[in-house]
Structure 1
Amino acid sequence: MTSGGESGNAEHGNAAPEHPAPATDLRKRVRMWVAPMVVITLLMSLLGTMYLAYVVDPASHLHRFPIALVDQDDGDTIGGKPMNVGKQISDALLAQIPSDKVDLRVMGINSAQHDLGNAKIYGAIIIPTDFTKRLGIFATASVVPGDITQPTITVNTSPRMGSFSVSLVQAITSTALSKVDETVGKQLGDTVNAQLRRPDGSTTELVGLSRLMLAQPIEVITTAYHPLPAGTGGGLVAFFYAMMVLLAGFTGAMVINGMVDSALGFAPTEFGPWYVHYPAASVSRLKTLLIKWGIITCTAPIVAAVYMGLATWLGMPIDRAPALWLYTTFAIIAVGVTALSVVAAFGTAGLLINLILFIVLGLPSSGGTIPVEAIPKSLAWLAGFEPMHQVFLGIRAILYFDAGADAGLARAVWMTLLGLGIGLLLGAVVTRYYDRKGLHRKPATARS
């Protein structure tokens, strides 16, 4: 009977073949080779585009780079005429420096110092109160003996905003002020020559050294505002610390996801040649996610404390230790919860989504090594919501700006809270929906 039944089924074409058809087998083999190659190529293309666009030519991407312009000059009389050279220089700088590239903000000295101390600007050009007076004395001294000091303009940089931003400020101000120096020098030389003109129309020629001094009368002094202490890596420590926080949340979430799934029997466990696949536990998707959230929440304060212990051991100054520990813990939880929710919602594809969200797009838009105002505008747009930029602002504010809310900490906290809320909502809603639809995590043969 059994043989006859099998024969009958075969005659009617109902028996399933023991091996897949050659065409089907070929398609599977092609898919097995091609699919990973395509995914890796696309991912690396995106990574290469983001990273190279970020670093190749920052100066060409400069946009709205904020620098303060402080004109304190009271003016004076030069050659019998009232003058305010500081005002002339300010007007010249505003006209020469492209406003689409540099946001030159005219303000008082107190406002400039406040903005430098709160990470609002990258530098300041300061014209002193006695600038015109000193310029007049300098011009007179070119023909009259006496001790003089060269008129000065001070450029304050903010090393706490990063070493590359300091270089940009120096390059921008050096180019602009060198042109101003030539213009003022020509004007000053004409004034002195007019004073030396005799009634008969002849003039006394200036000696070569005097002409050289008048040609470039302004001394530009570049100083660091609130210099960084030792152990900060020239300002780069804040960026790498922020990256460590992101990696703790992102990588930690992926480790937790794999280990919990293995323990619950949803994925095999492998250590070298050792392989085991436990029976799948009768646990809903939502409860599984809650377990993972709980683990990352308990792990975050431990990792935050480890980071601070290592930083202290290596000589990194931490003036606001409680704030750094609290925010680091908060950020790790927010990133970890969101990363776990993405995997719960999208499965294996969630790993790629997390990699792109937190790393591939995060690093070039962070502003940690190159200011956001010196990267392509598309990347600068990403900085508005990318997690790494928000975390960097918070870490930098705590480490370098006395945990000031205006220095970026308030924005970092609110954006991190928003990210945590989105992660919780995404994970809870999607896993609950999957559970209600009966989309349980079981092998295909075990589904009813």
Structure 2
Amino acid sequence: MPADFTASATAPAGTLARPTLTVLTNQSARSVGSGLARTVTPQAAENASLQVGKELTTQMGTAQAKLPAAARVLLADPAAVTVQDGHPLDSHSGLGLTAFYALTLVVVGMLSANVMSGRVDHALGFAEFEPLRQLTGGVRSILYCDAQGDAGLTRGWAMMAAGLVMAALFGFGVRGWYDREGLHRIPVETTPEKAAVPA
């Protein structure tokens, strides 16, 4: 909204100065937000202009009949609404979808790496030693094979037990090392020294 909006809207009828409401959009705020700003905001601004026009017409009363036709039309809809790019995008900005493209590349790279890693492990004979594969086999045994031990449930439980033992050994080992070194996990509160009071 321009600084002289009120002065322009209430200017004498002979001047015909129409203020302009400018809707600024930001294309880098994703296409949905930019699209909403381009459709909803101009409609709201036009409705506001018509509301101001009704109030001005009411204030003018019977005096508006003496105005020329162009002035009466301007009085009914006093503000023009324009839409502009408040933050224009660079020609190499990817239409503001850089984060989406980056995430897509990360997901595609991760999936490709997982597929290739599994294929290489399978070709070399190492696939059976993956801990997550053992857990997946245990879940599959519960869901599809009536929780039979030879369908993978026994290996899943064994891998979970081994993981628990390794995690406990590592945790207690680090805690023991902290205690031997005299490191504190919680900072020790220090009391401020009292200043000596002169006698």
Give me the TM-score of the superposition, normalised by structure 1.
0.29
Match of 2:41 in 1: 173
Q: Does 1:248 align with 2:106?
A: no
What code does the residue aligned with 1:165 have?
A: G
What code does the residue aligned with 2:130 have?
A: R
Match of 2:7 in 1: 133
Q: 1:189: Cα distance to partner? A: 2.2
Partners of 1:192 and 1:432 in 2: CA distance: 86
Which structure's residues are more often helix, by fraction? 2
Partners of 2:89 and 2:163 in 1: CA distance: 56
Q: Does 1:285 align with 2:124?
A: no
Partners of 2:118 and 2:75 in 1: CA distance: 71
Match of 1:12 in 2: none
What code does the residue aligned with 1:211 have?
A: R
Q: 1:243: Cα distance to partner? A: 1.1
Contact 1:157/1:169 (8 A) holds in 2: yes
| Distance verdict in 2 for CA 1:182–1:262, change over 3 Å | same
Q: 1:159: Cα distance to partner? A: 0.8
Contact 1:162/1:235 (8 A) holds in 2: yes
Within the candidate set 22, 25, 35, 1:157 is matched to 25
Q: Does 1:346 align with 2:120?
A: no
Q: 1:344: Cα distance to partner? A: 6.0
| Distance verdict in 2 for CA 1:193–1:434, change over 3 Å | same
Match of 2:189 in 1: none
- Unaligned runs of 5+ residues in structure 2 are 141-156, 165-199
What code does the residue aligned with 1:130 have?
A: D
| Distance verdict in 2 for CA 1:204–1:211, change over 3 Å | closer
What code does the residue aligned with 2:21 have?
A: I
Partners of 1:176 and 1:223 in 2: CA distance: 16
Partners of 1:246 and 1:234 in 2: CA distance: 20
Partners of 1:161 and 1:349 in 2: CA distance: 42
Q: 1:168: Cα distance to partner? A: 0.8
Q: State the secondary structure of the residue aligned to 1:222.
A: strand
Contact 1:285/1:432 (8 A) holds in 2: no
| 1:292-318 CA distance string (max 9 Å, x none) | xxxxxxxxxxxxxxxxxxxxxxxxxxx
Partners of 1:150 and 1:181 in 2: CA distance: 11
| Distance verdict in 2 for CA 1:249–1:436, change over 3 Å | closer
| Distance verdict in 2 for CA 1:217–1:238, change over 3 Å | same
Contact 2:53/2:77 (8 A) holds in 1: yes
CA RMSD of aligned residues (A): 3.3
Contact 1:152/1:218 (8 A) holds in 2: yes
Match of 1:187 in 2: 55
Contact 1:160/1:235 (8 A) holds in 2: yes
Give me the TM-score of the superposition, normalised by structure 2.
0.60
Q: 1:434: Cα distance to partner? A: 6.1
Q: 1:265: Cα distance to partner? A: 5.1
Partners of 1:348 and 1:433 in 2: CA distance: 10
Q: Which has the larger radius of gyration?
A: 2
Structure 1 stretches (4+) deviating beyond 4 angstroms? Answer: 347-350, 434-437
Contact 1:285/1:435 (8 A) holds in 2: no
Question: Sequence identity, in percent?
Answer: 22
What code does the residue aligned with 1:346 have?
A: T
- Unaligned runs of 5+ residues in structure 1 are 1-126, 197-202, 267-279, 287-340, 351-429, 438-448
